[in-house]
A and B are shown apart, each in its own frame.
Chain A
Amino acid sequence: MSGNGKLKVGMYWASSCGGCDISLLEIGTRLLDLVQIADVVFWPCAADFKYADVAGYPDGHLDACFYNGGVRNSEQEEVARLLRQKSRTLVAYGTCAGDGGIPALANLVTPEAIFKAAYHDNPSLDNAAGVEPQPEVETGVGTLRIPRFYPAVLRLGDVVEVDYVLPGCPPQADRVWEAIQALAGGAVPARNGEVRVGCADRTVCDECSREKRLLKIKQFRRHHMFRPEPGWCLLEQGVLCMGPATRSGCGAMCLKADMRCEGCYGPPAGVEDQGAAMAGALGGLVDAATEQQAQEIVDQIPDPLGSFYRFTMASSMMKGRR
């Protein structure tokens, strides 16, 4: 804490969409309380800070840094290392930093395929010369360098020691505010080995208010195919709700809006592989008497890999496609 008794906090965006930065604004008028208790000393999304400013801070200068996004290139890793050095508490903010998030689905394809799609095989491209970005380019005025693209999306915890993970895509505003208050209260141990905060240990089903009728799934259906009955468990109605394999803490917000859980809070406590956990959960929920029926029903799920691991490919057992 600085001389004025305020916390020094920072926020950084790496391989992310920007939603996490917006989610900090979602605390609403409590932002005014935040600036009473904290000075923002680094937040590229909102104010003009340079990496050099951060490099000039003494080690451990930031009381807390919220790092959102996974690590896809060398710049993001370099900043992660810098912020680790300058922060007393480093928080992996959001599911991308914690589990890879949506960008980590790219671990199911090769970097070569990504470059092919982005720079060659795309109807909106005009790249007759087949130019691809290079990490180093010699020009008349010297060597230009851009960050190197990594072969996979990594979690923040894969490159530096992380103290806390605040999951969610994005983290829910009330949970964010609770985390900030805990930091302000000073009762937060600095080094805490990726403890998950702003969430509970159980599953989304645990805090979902929809009625369970203990009926099994006869057919998988998607939202555009029918109108689900309000108040009744979506999974029992055949919608592929990730609730049983997803950590609670969000308050089952999507379910309250009649939308299925997509799994953004990652696996519940005790589970490492969210996708495998979902395959396990469905085992007891599908109404099949024969192997053929079982096969037919699960074949109605269009993309189990992408659906089950939508947010957690980088933290799954398998980590990616070979």
Chain B
Amino acid sequence: MADRTNGRGKAGSWEPRIVGFLCYWCSYTGADGAGTARMKYAPNVDIVKVMCSGRIDPELITMAFSRGADGVMVLGCHIGDCHYVSGNHKTMVRMPLVRRLLSGLGIEPERFRHEWVSAAEGEKFSRLVTEMTEQVRALGPLNWPLRMRERGVGHGQDLHPWRGGEA
């Protein structure tokens, strides 16, 4: 975690790092449209393009947070618009569950956002990204790997500084 700017902003400052899972057919095309139309939005979202929001296994979301994301966005086609007919119906059921799991784990609701963005909604995309970036910035870094290291759990065996000594 040497570089807290995540390649953005001034050295020594912190910039939110947000992972955005975007469905290929609607939301990614919407994001593409925002770029083509040269709309300005915060550069803090790392976009992961997936073929359908129904492909977004909740494990990908917990993985993103557990590896250091400050926020996660899931964007898919509006209900009724799914290229695969019902992929986003699965998303629609999963995301309320994910929200409850995350809140139980002590992650603020503002760090997770699930929205529908159509291919024509570049403006909505740019607005959501900027909103999300600002609300995560207000919360500060999540720093999940560090927090878990402090509790002695995490990925890898060298992560337990408080262990050792006599029983």
Binding site for B on A (CB under 8 A): 73-75, 77-78, 107-108, 145, 147-148, 150-152, 154, 158-159, 271-273, 275-277, 279-280, 282-286, 288, 290-291, 294-295, 297-299, 301, 304-306, 308, 314, 316-322
What is the minimal beta-carbon distance from A208 to any residue of chain B, in angstroms?
Answer: 22
| Chain B interface main SS type | helix
What is the minimal beta-carbon distance from B147 to any residue of chain A, in angstroms?
Answer: 5
* Contact status A304-B100, CB under 8 Å: yes
Q: Is residue B152 within 8 Å, beta carbon to beta carbon, of the partner chain?
A: yes
CB < 8 Å neighbour of A288 from B54, B66, B92, B157: B92
* Contact status A77-B167, CB under 8 Å: yes
What is the minimal beta-carbon distance from B159 to any residue of chain A, in angstroms?
Answer: 9
* Contact status B167-A280, CB under 8 Å: no
* Contact status A314-B153, CB under 8 Å: yes
Instruction: Give the chain B neighbours of A317 by CB distance below 8 A.
Output: 59, 62-63, 65-66
Given the complex of chains A and B, what is the CA–CA distance between A158 and B106 in angstroms? Answer: 23
* Contact status A279-B98, CB under 8 Å: yes
What is the minimal beta-carbon distance from B37 to any residue of chain A, in angstroms?
Answer: 28
* Contact status A305-B100, CB under 8 Å: yes
What is the minimal beta-carbon distance from A269 to any residue of chain B, in angstroms?
Answer: 14
- Given A74-B165, A279-B101, A319:B148 Cβ within 8 A: yes
The residue in A276, A306, A314 that gathers the most chain B C-beta atoms within 10 A of its C-beta is A276
CB < 8 Å neighbour of A318 from B62, B90, B97, B167: B62
- Given A107-B151, A158-B157, A295-B96, A318:B144 Cβ within 8 A: yes
With both beta carbons as reference points, the residue of chain A lying nearest to B56 in the complex is identified as A280
Given the complex of chains A and B, what is the CA–CA distance between A295 and B94 in angstroms? Answer: 9
- Given A282-B94, A282-B97, A284-B90, A150:B105 Cβ within 8 A: no
Instruction: Give the chain A neighbours of B101 by CB distance below 8 A.
Output: 275-276, 279, 304-305, 308
Instruction: Give the chain A neighbours of B105 by CB distance below 8 A.
Output: 108, 305, 318, 320-322
Chain B 145-162: CB-based contact to A (< 8 A → 1; otherwise 0): 001101111100100101
Given the complex of chains A and B, what is the CA–CA distance between A301 and B89 in angstroms? Answer: 19
- Given A107-B151, A150-B152, A288-B92, A271:B97 Cβ within 8 A: no
Q: Is residue B104 within 8 Å, beta carbon to beta carbon, of the partner chain?
A: yes
* Contact status A107-B153, CB under 8 Å: yes
* Contact status A294-B93, CB under 8 Å: yes
* Contact status A321-B58, CB under 8 Å: no
Chain B 131-153: CB-based contact to A (< 8 A → 1; otherwise 0): 00000000000001001101111
* Contact status A276-B61, CB under 8 Å: yes
Given the complex of chains A and B, what is the CA–CA distance between A146 and B59 in angstroms? Answer: 39
Instruction: Give the chain A neighbours of B57 by CB distance below 8 A.
Output: 276-277, 280
Starting from the known contacts A145-B166, A152-B151, A279-B58, 12 additional A-B residue pairs (CB-CB under 8 Å) come to A74-B166, A147-B167, A151-B150, A152-B153, A294-B92, A295-B96, A305-B100, A305-B104, A317-B62, A317-B63, A317-B66, A318-B65
What is the minimal beta-carbon distance from A236 to any residue of chain B, in angstroms?
Answer: 15
With both beta carbons as reference points, the residue of chain B lying nearest to A274 in the complex is identified as B59
Interface residues of B in 95-134 (CB under 8 A from A): 96-98, 100-101, 104-107
* Contact status A273-B93, CB under 8 Å: no
Given the complex of chains A and B, what is the CA–CA distance between A34 and B153 in angstroms? Answer: 37
* Contact status A272-B157, CB under 8 Å: no
Instruction: Give the chain B neighbours of A108 by CB distance below 8 A.
Output: 104-105
